[in-house]
Every structure is written in structure tokens, then in C-alpha cells.
């Protein structure tokens, strides 16, 4: 099992963390509860390192989906 995430997910985590940090900044750093900083830190950690603890934990709980099987092709009738 690979613990690293794709570049698209890393960019997504970077954008979401930045939007959350922007919301905290607009609200006021001294106004928001300290718990709101945790998701921002985790999103930036996942974006920088490529390791997402939330995905690892959810894969341990629920497992990964097996790859989908290709549908059998229809056979042509001879004749």
C-alpha cells in the first residue's frame, strides 16, 4: 500500500488549506478557536509531504476498493 498521494490531491489540499486560512484571517486570528487551525496544518502537511494521515486512517478502517473488472465484450454472431 502506497502512503503517498497524487499531485492533484496535493494541490487540492493546498487550495483547501489556503481557503481555510483565508477564512481564519478574515475572521481574525485572535477570534477563532484554536481547533480551526488543526485542519489547516493537516492540509498543508499533506500538500507538502504527500502523506495524508486521514486517507491512511480511513483505508485502515474501511480498506481499499478492489479495481473494477472490465465488462465482457459481446460476441459477434457468425453467419
- What number of other Cβ atoms are within 10 A of residue 46's Cβ? 23
**Coil/strand/helix, residue 44:** helix
Entry pTM: 0.70
In a domain, 72, yes or no: no
pLDDT band (50, 70, 90) for residue 3? low
User: What pLDDT digit, counting tens, does each position of 28-78 carry?
Assistant: 999 999 999 999 999 999 999 999 888 888 888 988 777 777 777 777 777
Considering its fold, how many domains does the chain have in total? 1
In a domain, 34, yes or no: yes
In a domain, 1, yes or no: no
pLDDT, position 18? 96
Domain that holds residue 54: 7-62
Closest of 41, 37, 32 to residue 13, by C-alpha: 41
Amino acid at each position: 500500500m502506497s502512503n503517498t498521494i497524487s499531485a492533484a490531491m496535493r494541490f487540492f489540499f493546498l487550495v483547501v488549506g489556503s481557503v481555510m486560512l483565508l477564512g481564519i484571517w478574515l475572521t481574525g486570528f485572535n477570534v477563532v478557536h484554536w481547533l480551526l487551525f488543526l485542519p489547516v496544518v493537516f492540509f498543508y502537511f499533506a500538500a507538502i509531504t504527500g502523506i495524508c494521515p486521514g486517507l491512511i486512517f480511513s483505508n485502515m478502517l474501511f480498506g481499499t476498493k478492489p479495481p473494477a473488472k472490465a465488462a465482457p465484450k459481446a460476441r459477434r454472431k457468425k453467419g
